[in-house]
Amino acid sequence: MSVLVYIENTNGELKKSAFEAASYAKEVADLLNTEAIAVSIGDIDRQALSSLGNCGVTKVFHVSRII
């Protein structure tokens, strides 16, 4: 089982709260001896999403369109 965290982006950029949520998800994942996974919806630069790795997120799922 993994810890899943939703990462909100505004106008293609991550806010400070997104990094805080990712860090908290990593802390919970460590307590559960599992990994933190992030999901983000909407248009955003891949480099911005990859920066979540600095917070301990091991995987990022990005959904650009919902049909």
Element (H, E) at 9: strand 9-10
CA 7 to chain centre: 5
**Residue 12 has what DSSP assignment?**
T
* 16 to 2, 13, 19, 63: CA distances (angstroms): 23, 10, 5, 21
pLDDT digits (tens, 9 = 90+) for 51-60: 999 999 999 9
pLDDT digits (tens, 9 = 90+) for 9-60: 888 889 999 999 999 999 999 999 999 999 999 888 888 899 999 999 999 9
For residue 5, give the nearest of 14, 23, 16 by alpha carbon. 23
CB-CB contact of 60 with 49 (8 Å): yes
Please give the model's pTM, rounded to 2 decimal places. Answer: 0.86
